[in-house]
Structure formats: C-alpha cells, structure tokens
Structure 1
Amino acid sequence: MPIERFQIQVSDEILEDLKYRLEHVRWPDQLEDSDWERGTDQGYLRSLVTYWRDQFDWRAREAELNRLSHFRCNVDGIDLHFVHERGKGPNPQPIILTHGWPDSFVRYEKIIPMLTDPERYGGNPEDSFDVIVPSVPGFGFSNGLKHVGVNNAYVAELWARLMTEHLGYPKFAAAGGDVGSGVTRYLAFNHPELLTGIHLTDIGIIRNLLTVQDKSALTEEELLYIKDTSKWMADEGGYMSIQSTKPQTLAYGLNDSPVGLAAWIIEKFHAWSDCKGDLRNSFSEDELLTNIMIYWVTNTVGSTANIYYENTHTLPPLGRIEVPAGIAIFPGDVALPPREWAERNLNITRWTTMPRGGHFTAMEDPAPLAEDIREFFRALRV
C-alpha cells in the first residue's frame, strides 16, 4: 500500500448511535462525599456527558483535525495512520512523536505548529522540524489490529520502517511520553544509527528497580522512588493490572458504553495531569471529548488496552541507550524517575525540571515542552 492521503470522516450512523446512548445512560450510585478518591466523580462526569450530548460539535472538531496533513500506509500488514507536517524553516529536522494511553495522536495537536514553524511563536526558524505523529497500532485510525505481539519494541520497528523506507528520512529525531517513551527508547536501542537523539517526558515504570532484592547499593533517591511508586501502583495501578492481564474482558464494557469509556479515560486525565484537582484548569471539555471520541468512533478501546498485555508478556529486555537523550520532568506527572538511575541507563545530555505540567503536558502546556525539544535538538542537527 503506497502512502495515501487520509481524511477523518465519521459516519452519521455512528454519531446518531452515540447520541442515542448518551440519551439513555444508566447511572450507578455514588457514595456521598466520595468525590474522585473511588474513581471518576459522577458530578463532573454528568456535567461532561450533558455537554457531550447537547453542545459538543464533533463535525467542527473533525474539520479542525482535518486541517492537519493526514496519511495512511501499510507497514508489515498494519494500516498506519500518521500526521506529517512539513517544517517552514531553512533545514527542517524530521522528528517522530509517539503518544501513549489513554491519549492519541491529538496529544500533539497543539505542539505541531510550534515545532514546524517556531518563528511564528517567537523562536528561530532554523529550529524547525518536519513533524510526524503516527497513531500507535490499535489506536485511533491505525486500527484493524489482528495479531498478537504488538509491543513497544514491535512498534519501534514499524516506526523505523515508516521513517526510512516510506518517508525517506535516513536519520531523524524521536520523542514521546507514556507508551511513546517506551517506543522511543526501543527505537534508540535497536536503531541508534537512525537517530540524532531522543527526547522523553518520562521513563515509564522502572520495574527492574522496583524488584531489586539487594537494596544496599541504591541511592536515597532510588529508594524513595521504590517507596513512592510502589504506593502509587497499589493506589492507582488497577487499570494497569487489568489491561495487562484481561484486556479483552474490559473491552466489552468500555466498547459498549460511551459513558463507561469516558469515565475510564477521564479518571487518568484527572489523576495524571497538573490540574490541581479541577480538570478545567488543564483541559477544555472539547479537548477531553475529542480524545474520547477518537477511541469511540474507531472502536479501539480494546486494542489500545492490549499493548499493556503485550508489554507485560512479550517485551524483550532493554539495555543502556547510547543515543543522546533529553529528559523533561514535569512535577504533576507520576512515577518521576530518579536521575541517577536514568543516567546509568541513558546517555543523558539534557535534564530539565519544569516548573509546572503533568503527564499530558503537550496538551496542557505545550509551549515549554516545544521550547525544550527545540533547544535539545539544536546541537544534534545533521
């Protein structure tokens, strides 16, 4: 399949079915004064669903998204969707940005123009990028996932082929967070010859650190990471446990109920962002619903959960990464990595601690992230 132009075109039937479901919600009870501590707060969710049903304009958002340059091509039997926006500077550097869960390619919607056209945002046009934002297989419009084994390492191989064989970039930059951080690290580990550098907003859950038996050689920061992350996984990691073990069972309910899907996703945006307890501090209703709609209209919540299963059961070990790495740490994120461990396992040439922002910072506050990416790759351009 050659590279083909793609436009988002959701059928009227899908939208009409969604409207019916939003008009016939069967709400559960919620204990008084429980707010968010037992899961998604019903008061907030009812308000969001009312807005979704009565005011949210998918056709308007669809038109806005279609202003981006969308494409599809087949790589290893998977029809990959990706955005490809050309840089406006004199020598744009190609960069592939990889999203995670429970977000989608729209994670990077705001940051794309800041990277392709930095001069428009007060930057230097020589820092411009050709920006490629694929949908991870099984997510969004890279749907139709049929076979097992699609883990971070496999996706990294697809990205290497997409960038070199299909788009013709012999060398490129890569960045990502969440699942995108894992994919980017495997890309750097397995194909260092292709990469100028990698930029990460997290290093995921460092499981081999959590399972160290002899802790006598660990630093104070590493011991604190083990304590804090173990507590976080016990308090907040239920989604990870079920998606890593029984994603198919979960998929039946979330795929059938738009409210159930919204609750599952919104809980994470509330917990992992720097919203200070109020989602409206970080995201508009339209932004949240656009991301949820990507899951709903493509029928992919089940296949997106599967990557947790694959990363738990089929992911090969990852060694030290020698490609230059830039790390941007945001205080509202989860499982903040200990710097000593990161420096032993990656060739870190830039470490930035941001004053604000969370897990979805490309959506929450994209300007500082775009600036950090531009500054990190400035010395690595070829």
Structure 2
Amino acid sequence: MSISTQLIPFRVEIPQAELDDLKRRLDGTRWPDRETVADQSQGAQLAKVQDLVGYWRTQYDWRRFEARLNSYPQFKTEIDGLGIHFLHIKSPHENALPLIMTHGWPGSIVEFLDTIDPLVNPTAHGGEAKDAFHVVLPSIPGYGFSDKPTTKGWNRTRIGNAWHELMQRLGYPRYVAQGGDWGSVVTTEMGRLKFDGLAAIHVNLPFVVPADLPAELSAEEQAALDQCVLFASDGIAYHDLQTTRPETIGFSLADSPVGQASWIYEKLASWSDSDGSAESVFSYDQILDNIMLYWVTNSGASSARMYAEHPGLNFGAVHLDLPVAVSVFPGEIYTPPKAWAEQAYSNLIYWNKAEKGGHFAAFEQPAIFVSEVRAAFASVR
C-alpha cells in the first residue's frame, strides 16, 4: 500500500494560540443594530446571537469537545489527491452492517455523534445485535478536517466515488449509505452510480419532485409544492450567494467568529423542528461544537464552494432502481408524499414519516433517527 492510500491515525489538537485569538475576537465584537421586526424574518436575531456568544466567551470549553472527538478512532487518507478525514467506529457485534453517513451544510460530523453508540452497540441502547452497524463518518472535502480542494471539480459524483473507494479501502465490499442535506445529494448520487457492493441507501431529504406534475394535485402534493415555492422565495438567498459568490461571503466568515456563528445559527433555528428557536432543540454546547468545526478549520469559504459545484440543484426527482429507504421528518424544508417517492424510486424498501424532527434529523432527534436507520436497512442485511 502506498503512503497516499494508507489510513493515518488522526487526532484533533488545536493550538492554544488559536483559541486565545478566538477569545480576543469574541471580546472585541462590533454588533449590528437590532432587527426592526419581532421575529427572525430578517435573519438571526441580535439578542439570541448575543446570548449564544456570551456563553461562547465565558463558558464554552473546546477542550471538552476535542477530547470527545479524540475518543473515537479518527483517520485521514488520500483519495483522488485529497486528504479525507473520517471517523471509523467498528461494532463489537458479529455481522454488523457497514454504514457510511454523510453530513450537510451548515452541519458536520457533529450531527451524528449522538447516534454512534446506539448504531454500533445496539444491545446497550434498546436494540438487538442484528441491528448493529460499523459506522464511517467522513467530512466532505472543504469541511472539517478534510482537505480543501484548490481547484473546481469536487462535486457529488467525485465525492460519491471517493466514498466508495473509502469503503473498499476499509475492507467493506458490501455496505449501505445514509445522508441528509448535502449528504442526501451525495448518497443519492452513489445510488445513481450503482456502485458494486452498495446494497441500499437511506435519505432523510429525498429528491423526488416530479418533472411533470398533474393538473390536479392532492392536498399532500399541494402542501409539498407550496413548501418548495416558499423555500424558493424566502429561504434560498443563502444558496444563491454561496453558489455564485462563495469567496465573498468567505471573507466575513473567515475573519469574524460571530459572523460565522450567526450564519450557521440562523439555519439551525429556521430549519430545525423548533418553531424558530434553536435553543429549544440544541444545547449551546451542541450549537457551538458545530460552529467551532467551521471556525478552527477556517472552512467558511471552502464549505460554501460545495454550492458553487452544483449550480441549478433543486428538489427534482432523481430516478433510482437500487433499494432506497426514506424517512420524512415533519420539520424538514419540504415533506413530499410517498407517491412521489414511489415514482422516483422503483425499489422503495422503506418509507416512514417520523413523529418529530427537522432538517438536522440525526442532530435533533438521535433516538428517532437511529430507529429509522435500523428499520430502513433491516431488509437488506
């Protein structure tokens, strides 16, 4: 095995000087004026961000989170010329099913941390040995501790190929894949490419809107379409900016920790099943753990470039014929009807509407998410 394909053990060790610089920047924050409305229709609200940053300045402990990351087996390996960072947690149970899960934006591997132990050791968390998974959690190129691409081309197809290579390199000739947000884009692409050994996929943001809608829609279809229209009119400005000007927004995100925090916080509030209050779903520590993975790796611009790699991306149907499982969470950006999934996926092996949870399903509702993943892949073991 060449050095480029070796699995190199990895530890997170952020220099104290960088944390001291962060503290200095937080202490010197220049705040904007308060919004002129009583809700978050103008974006992240001043008082809520000030409360979050106050906790960040005085109580948040990066070393706690760093130790948690380092408690899991972490590695880097070079694939297609780029260093990929990933967690690889093997189950103690015989015949565990290998599972690669992909995060999204503005998320990270943090989204999945509370699901790791129940997935790899189900007998300790209300499951059975037959529910066990070997879990692989890579960071998308340009995110977290994966390398940043220096040229264009790291799109969903290239990432999907890299993930397949990673699973083969780990010794998993047969595996399953899961994802939401960009993770759903990548996982869906893996399904479209039909890699040898990819037994099934599970997504919690399905791309199933039909190209040709009937003249008369059911109430469920109309509701889903209305959600898409609302997102296109009121929720997509961030998408357009990161698609067309990722470097411009990157200057602010690289220089201002509060700018980076508010850019992420607003999406955690508006896309979670929280009625606009991120704090009702996530602790400050969880919110800041995720934000810190962007800050300490200076990946505001590089993560935004994922959008520039996919101009024109929408919720339009991607037709797949390998086994596909879908979980729809009620607080998701749009909640399509099963009929649309049945049209897009010729081999729909699982469909369920979860009781609660939103766009960040694994992060918001880890127990429900674990239950969904177990059920989703039960028939392909």
**TM bucket normalised to smaller:** over 0.9
Does structure 1 conserve the Cα–Cα contact (< 8 Å) formed by 2:12 and 2:70? Answer: yes
Counterpart of 2:358, as a letter, is G
- TM-score, normalization: structure 2? 0.94
What amino acid is aligned across from residue 188 of structure 1 in structure 2? G
Question: Could you say what secondary structure the match of 2:167 adopts?
Answer: helix
Does the 8 Å CA contact 1:151/1:310 hold for their aligned counterparts?
yes
Q: Secondary structure at the match of 1:35?
A: coil
Contact 1:328–1:351, Cα closer than 8 Å, also in 2? yes
Aligned equivalent of 1:263:
262
List per-residue Cα deviations over 1:302-329 (Å, max 9, x = no partner): 11111111111699x9852111111111
Give 1:298's aligned amino acid.
T
**Which amino acid letter does the alignment assign opposite residue 90 of structure 1?**
E
Cα distance in 1 for partners of 2:32, 2:76 equals 40
Other-structure match for 2:206: 203
- Equivalent runs, 1:317-332 vs 2, <5 Å: 319-332=318-331
Using the TM superposition, give the Cα deviation of residue 71 of structure 1 relative to its aligned residue in structure 2, in angstroms.
0.5
Question: Which residue pairs with 1:14 in the alignment?
Answer: 18
**RMSD, aligned CA:** 1.9
Corresponding residue for 1:350? Answer: 350
Residue correspondences, number: 375
- Structure 1 residue 223: Cα displacement: 4.2
User: Contact 2:207–2:317 at 8 Å: present in 1 too?
Assistant: no
1:234-271 superposed Cα distances (whole Å, 9 cap, x missing partner): 11111011111111111111111000110000000000
Residue 90 of structure 1 deviates from its aligned partner by 1.8
Residue 335 of structure 1 aligns to which amino acid in structure 2? Answer: Y
Change in 2 beyond 3 A, CA 1:252/1:258: same
Give the whole-Å Cα distance in 1 for the aligned partners of 2:224 and 2:331.
Answer: 15
Q: Which residue of 2 aligns with 1:109?
A: 113
Deviation of residue 180 (structure 1)? 0.3
Give the CA deviation at 1:35.
3.2
Cα shift at 1:215: 4.9
Deviates more, 1:340-349 or 1:110-119: 340-349
Aligned pairs (5 A) from 1:293-312: 293-312=292-311
Q: Distance in 2 between matches of 1:205 and 1:243?
A: 24
Q: SS of 1:323's equivalent?
A: coil
1:70 aligns with 2:91: no
Per the alignment, residue 122 of structure 2 pairs with 118
SS in 1 for 2:144: coil
Q: Distance in 2 between matches of 1:365 and 1:227?
A: 25
Hey, what does 2:53 align to over in structure 1?
A: 49
Percent identity (aligned): 37
Task: State yes or no: 1:81 paired with 2:85.
Answer: yes
Which residue of structure 2 lines up, in the alignment, with residue 230 of structure 1?
Answer: 229
Contact 1:283 1:364 in 2 (8 A): yes
Deviates more, 1:181-190 or 1:269-278: 269-278
| Residue aligning to 2:167 | 163
Quick check: 1:145 aligned with 2:144? no
Q: Alignment partner of 1:140: what SS? A: coil
Seen in structure 2, the aligned counterparts of structure 1 residues 99 and 282 have a Cα distance that, compared at 3 Å, is same
Quick one: which of 33, 38, 42 aligns to 1:34?
38
Change in Cα spacing, 1:204 to 1:283, as seen in structure 2 (3 Å) is farther
* 8 A contact 2:208–2:341 mirrored in 1: no
Residue of structure 2 equivalent to 1:243? 242
Q: Which residue of 1 aligns with 2:137?
A: 133
Q: Answer yes or no: is the 8 Å Cα contact 1:228–1:335 preserved in 2.
A: yes
> Where do 5+ consecutive residues of structure 2 fail to align?
none
Structure 2: which amino acid aligns with 1:152? R
The 1-side partners of 2:191 and 2:275 are apart by 34
Do the aligned residues in 1 keep the contact of 2:74 with 2:87 (CA within 8 Å)? yes
Q: Does structure 2 retain, via aligned residues, the 8 Å contact 1:127–1:378? A: yes
- TM value normalised by structure 1: 0.94
Deviation of 1:8 (Å): 0.6
Aligned pairs for 1:173-184 (under 5 A) are 173-184=176-187
Q: 1:159-216 CA deviation, whole Å, 9 max, x = no partner?
A: 011111x11211101001000001001111102432111111112585x74xx5x753
The residue identity in structure 2 corresponding to 1:127 is: D
CA distance in 2, matches of 1:205, 1:11: 45
Residues 82-107 of structure 1: CA distance to partner in whole angstroms, max 9, x if unpaired?
00000121211100000000000111
User: For residues 364 and 95 of structure 2, what CA distance do their matches in structure 1 show?
Assistant: 29
- How far residue 376 of structure 1 moved from its aligned partner, in angstroms, is 2.1
State the secondary structure of the residue aligned to 2:322: strand
Gaps of 5+ in 1: none
Distance 2:356 2:219 in 1: 24
Q: d(CA) in 1 for partners of 2:144 and 2:54? A: 24
SS at the partner of 2:301?
helix
